């Protein structure tokens, strides 16, 4: 049994039915887990001395508008000690994702990015606000149902300076 298959077996033994799917993709382990068990799984991967997945390499969202739940959140973790990677996937609606920013500092920025671009809200995030778009921007640009040319693209663009507004 390869090291990657051993990791999948370890996670399956530990989390059982909470893992909906576990497989190898291009030789690397991928685990699909329910959103309620995600935090426990990531915490286990980070804190278990034998696994030691101590780096959040990437965190991103994918929009599947026809699916329910609509959004897939993907976490890629790396163990610098063991030189291994694992991909964790979960499905969620727009609200109710638990933050992992207290486990990985890098998640703060990445969760804000997902919030801004997709509208997925992370519970207990220390600073959940838009990161690319203005605070008064309507919509979430990476959703599949967002207009390709943006909202109000046919209206002329005008700039109102602060000094003009106060008059």
d(CA 4, CA 9): 9
pLDDT of residue 96: 83
The larger pLDDT score, comparing residue 137 to residue 1, is at 137
pLDDT of residue 163: 67
pLDDT bucket at 1, cuts 50 / 70 / 90: confident
d(CA 94, CA 81): 35
d(CA 136, CA 164): 19
- In this model, does residue 152 exceed pLDDT 70? no
Contact (CB, 8 A) for 108 and 102: no
Nearest in space to 61 (alpha carbons), one of 118, 108, 128: 118
Nearest in space to 69 (alpha carbons), one of 21, 34, 104: 34
- In this model, does residue 155 exceed pLDDT 80? no
pLDDT of residue 118: 96
Q: What is the mean pLDDT of the chain?
A: 91
pLDDT tens, position by position, 25-78:
999 999 999 999 999 999 999 999 999 999 999 999 999 999 999 999 999 999
Q: What is the mean pLDDT of residues 150-164?
A: 69
Beta bridge partners of 29: 24
* Helix, strand, or coil (residue 28): strand
The residue length of the chain stands at: 167
State the burial class of residue 32 (Cβ atoms within 10 Å of its Cβ: 0-12, 13-18, 19+). middle
Ranges of each domain in the chain: 3-165
φ and ψ at residue 54, rounded to 5 degrees:
-100, 5
State the burial class of residue 53 (Cβ atoms within 10 Å of its Cβ: 0-12, 13-18, 19+). buried
CATH architecture of the domain with range 3-165 = 2-Layer Sandwich (3.30)
Beta bridge partners of 77: 56, 86
Q: 118: left (phi > 0), else alpha (psi -120 to 50), else beta?
A: alpha
């Amino acid at each position: 049994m390869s090291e990657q298959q051993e990791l999948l077996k370890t996670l399956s033994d530990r989390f059982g039915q909470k893992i909906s799917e576990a497989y190898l993709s291009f030789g690397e382990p991928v685990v699909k887990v329910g959103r309620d068990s995600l935090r426990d799984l990531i915490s286990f991967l980070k804190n278990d001395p034998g696994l030691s997945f101590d780096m959040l390499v990437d965190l991103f969202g994918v929009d599947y508008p026809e699916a329910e739940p609509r959004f897939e959140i993907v976490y890629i973790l790396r163990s610098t000690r063991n030189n291994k990677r694992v991909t964790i996937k979960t499905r969620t609606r727009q609200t109710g994702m638990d933050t992992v920013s207290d486990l990985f500092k890098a998640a703060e920025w990445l969760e804000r990015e997902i919030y801004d671009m997709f509208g997925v809200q992370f519970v207990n995030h220390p600073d959940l606000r838009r990161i690319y778009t203005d605070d008064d921007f309507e919509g979430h640009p990476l959703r599949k149902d967002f207009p390709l040319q943006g909202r109000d693209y046919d209206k002329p663009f005008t700039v109102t300076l602060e000094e003009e507004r106060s008059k």
